[in-house]
Structure 1
């Protein structure tokens, strides 16, 4: 990417994935059951090499991929992203044995991964986790028992393994959290699905003395919060890309509808109120797209301003997508509310990204903290 424009090769690459998502992946998604893991869809993502790309792509390529898939098939995009979110800590912080056991199956779409961070009382405030990892005397040195709950976990309770964050107590707040790889068949682990607005699977998990040892750690004890934040910082700009993909799909549908729908002696697009609203939708979508690309570029360069840029990208893109989809529904009228209509589907999908992986309010807090921190450093350096 040069400046603020994609190159011709990148544009062609994105168009190819948009078409593939609509033609190959959407039919598989439509055969799936809402709220359940769609394993045939995951297998197709693996067969096409898309899951491999999640682990080998830089931040910008990941954003382009997620945006393209979201445009053509939101279920495929979400399935791909959840595999990356759940397994990325294994790639970055896992042992060789953990990587060999799980990553090939994840890349092939045979094993379902999940990222288990949120709890009933600890959503946006991830440092307030209460899931307890109590030393297990019976297991000898380095063993724990996990006791507590996780909630709002994507792919739960159907995942094959979970990246679980629990309080081991090396220090207060974030300093006392460790990350574990917990297979779904581990003794004492249970869960149930939650009936949510979003069509992808979400559930809760119960840990009733689940045994874990040092061989299950992802990284060092007490450093789990860093594992979580590294993963979220990589995926937050691509959540923005997911939102941009939905906004672009809604915008294109609105352009086609308003240009062809007759009303008041002309088409809807002839009405200034309609045309101006579409112009606003397009402008906001383009602004969000560019901010997402800029944040992804900062991630790939490893700049010091990555947390601020990533937070800005997720905030603007998810809020923009909500605005664009809502106005697209309004301009389509009642037809957009029929079950099975693209916009009815997007209307349900677009709400959750403003909450997960850090709600919009959390993103604003991060942005403000980074801005005032930079100001303080500048003043101190004078």
Structure 2
């Protein structure tokens, strides 16, 4: 863990988190069924006070939690992150009644949350939402449609659901709803993915919601979604950095003790230079993640660009580092149950979810041109 930009208390906290993950969280991983919510693990995250920190910490603390947990247990990290993603809209935009009902249960690890934005036809293009919220004549709506690739679905106790309440296209006319799992007409199916996290679909068959279920303001749900993603995108990068660091640590140990061609692998220049490149990229990604998180906490105007840059660089870096680690370990890293076999499956998805790498590049370019237009005085354009 780098000391740059971190205070001694933060460094000590990260070490404590890694110890907690090793002693209390990693032993619970096997108690869960792959592809389903591991409720004992979620409950332990609550007992340790980590879920409660989701609602009292800034973006940098969130990044430190996710990076530290990921170095020891990606399953514990993911359980924490999915709770935060699903419950943050309630914390930031919910009514007093919504917060009082759900947030204490989330913090205790008793209630599981989901963030339901993506759809079969609206993944990277989140503004293309098709889930309909039709007025029911009594001041409420009926939700009809499908959500796909949803965190903790279909086992979550409640979901933050984004639906189209108006005729406007794109981001306009989208409303965020808090939908408890026991609403009539709400069903779901788990998905079997490369890395077996609790991800699934949600089907809405005229699911009733009322004004009491609205998060934020009607018609402004896209703001709820984007504010949540701006907070969590740097922390996705932190998750990736944690995986890269775990792969780097394993590679340092392996190339030190493994002998080949008359000596330890680390004495081969091609190996040592590869390890140096892995460390260089990991540290660069870490610093960009920290910078984006600090900008978010400071209320900087360029958070969307910084968050996109951090997620893009960190997730692409982690893919490179884990792949290089597998190469340096050789065939043993491909064996089921090896740390790097696990990381190799884990590291692929973050380049897609919460905005694929291509989407991050689009966000970065859009923000750069917007900032350039603001800085350029009228009439100063050149051919």
TM bracket (short chain): over 0.9
Residue 297 of structure 2 corresponds to: 300
**Any idea what SS the aligned residue of 2:54 has?**
helix
Taking the aligned partners of 1:229 and 1:371, their CA distance within structure 2 comes to 18
**Which 5+ residue runs of structure 2 have no aligned equivalent?**
none
Instruction: Report the Cα offset of residue 31 of structure 1.
Output: 2.4
Single out whichever of 13-22 and 236-245 deviates more from structure 2: 13-22
Instruction: Say whether the 8 Å CA contact 2:174–2:221 is kept in structure 1.
Output: yes
Instruction: Say whether the 8 Å CA contact 1:82–1:113 is kept in structure 2.
Output: yes
Taking the aligned partners of 1:305 and 1:144, their CA distance within structure 2 comes to 36
After the TM superposition, which residues 305-316 of structure 1 pair with which residues of structure 2 at under 5 Å, given as runs? 305-316=302-313
| Structure-2-length-normalised TM-score | 0.97
**Any idea what SS the aligned residue of 2:376 has?**
helix
Instruction: Report the Cα offset of residue 170 of structure 1.
Output: 5.6
**Any idea what SS the aligned residue of 1:174 has?**
coil
**Any idea what SS the aligned residue of 1:146 has?**
strand
Residue 37 of structure 2 corresponds to: 37
Residue 356, structure 1, aligned to residue 353, structure 2: yes
Q: 2:257 aligns with which of 241, 256, 260?
A: 260
Instruction: Say whether the 8 Å CA contact 1:170–1:222 is kept in structure 2.
Output: no
**Any idea what SS the aligned residue of 1:173 has?**
coil
Instruction: Say whether the 8 Å CA contact 1:37–1:158 is kept in structure 2.
Output: yes
Residue 180 of structure 2 corresponds to: 183
Instruction: Report the Cα offset of residue 7 of structure 1.
Output: 2.4
**Any idea what SS the aligned residue of 2:133 has?**
strand
Residue 78 of structure 1 corresponds to: 78
Instruction: Say whether the 8 Å CA contact 2:3–2:11 is kept in structure 1.
Output: no
Residue 172, structure 1, aligned to residue 176, structure 2: no
Q: 1:319 aligns with which of 316, 321, 326?
A: 316
Deviation by residue 1:100-145 (Cα, 9 ceiling, x = unmatched): 11111100000000000000000011110000000102xx1x2100
Instruction: Say whether the 8 Å CA contact 2:135–2:141 is kept in structure 1.
Output: yes
Instruction: Report the Cα offset of residue 12 of structure 1.
Output: 1.4
Taking the aligned partners of 2:319 and 2:311, their CA distance within structure 1 comes to 12
Instruction: Say whether the 8 Å CA contact 2:31–2:40 is kept in structure 1.
Output: no
Taking the aligned partners of 1:336 and 1:152, their CA distance within structure 2 comes to 28
Residue 248 of structure 2 corresponds to: 251
**Any idea what SS the aligned residue of 1:178 has?**
strand
Taking the aligned partners of 2:104 and 2:214, their CA distance within structure 1 comes to 19
**Any idea what SS the aligned residue of 1:55 has?**
coil
Taking the aligned partners of 1:380 and 1:122, their CA distance within structure 2 comes to 37
Instruction: Report the Cα offset of residue 171 of structure 1.
Output: 2.9
**Which 5+ residue runs of structure 1 have no aligned equivalent?**
none
Instruction: Say whether the 8 Å CA contact 2:174–2:219 is kept in structure 1.
Output: yes
Single out whichever of 337-346 and 310-319 deviates more from structure 2: 337-346
Taking the aligned partners of 2:311 and 2:44, their CA distance within structure 1 comes to 28
Instruction: Report the Cα offset of residue 3 of structure 1.
Output: 9.4
Instruction: Say whether the 8 Å CA contact 1:170–1:177 is kept in structure 2.
Output: no
Residue 206 of structure 1 corresponds to: 203
Residue 159, structure 1, aligned to residue 159, structure 2: no
Residue 238 of structure 2 corresponds to: 241
CA RMSD of aligned residues (A): 1.4
Structure 1 pair 367/3, CA: closer, same or farther in 2 (3 Å)?
farther
Instruction: Say whether the 8 Å CA contact 2:43–2:109 is kept in structure 1.
Output: yes
**Any idea what SS the aligned residue of 1:175 has?**
coil
Deviation by residue 1:157-185 (Cα, 9 ceiling, x = unmatched): 00000000000016331111000000111
Instruction: Say whether the 8 Å CA contact 1:156–1:193 is kept in structure 2.
Output: yes
**Any idea what SS the aligned residue of 2:119 has?**
coil
**Any idea what SS the aligned residue of 2:68 has?**
helix
| Structure-1-length-normalised TM-score | 0.97
**Any idea what SS the aligned residue of 2:115 has?**
strand
Residue 104 of structure 1 corresponds to: 104
Instruction: Report the Cα offset of residue 9 of structure 1.
Output: 2.1
